[in-house]
Amino acid sequence: MKVNWGTAIVIAFAGFIGFIMYFVINMATDDKYDHDLVVEDYYQKELKFQTDIDKEENSKNLKTNISWKKTKDGILVEFPKDLDIKKIKGSVFLYRPSNKTLDFEIPISLSDHNLLIPDNKLLDGRWNINIDWTYNNEAYLYKKAINY
């Protein structure tokens, strides 16, 4: 049987479309490729974006900003030494970009200028740390992408 050019082109297009459809269906049904939005309430967070920028600017205007270091017990967050720890309120949110089920938030409760985020809550890899805190009714925000 002899195949002419028209039939060969139709067979090639059908083969290519089948090839592409296989990958589209494979990506749509495989849980390994299931990626959600970065955050659930994306639009509400976008509306308060300018407030976050103002809070970050307040943090940059401090004499010393928050710093962190990795220890064997976890992540040690150090608040500025010149601030009264009794007046510091807020929360620390750790966001794992690769798996939203690992995200967690802890309230800030200080006995000295350090806050320890325990090692048992953290897996190796990339984390985004957001420390949203207030001091004397002034709001501050510290954001950092870290590798643990």
Nearest-angstrom CA–CA distance, 100 and 132 = 19
Nearest-angstrom CA–CA distance, 59 and 53 = 10
**CA-based Rg of the chain, rounded to a whole angstrom?**
25
What pLDDT shows up at residue 2? 83
The pLDDT tens digits of the residues spanning 53-101 come to 889 998 888 888 888 888 888 888 898 888 888 888 999 999 888 877 8
The pLDDT tens digits of the residues spanning 20-32 come to 999 999 888 887 7
pTM beyond cutoff 0.85: no
The pLDDT tens digits of the residues spanning 36-59 come to 656 667 777 778 888 888 899 988
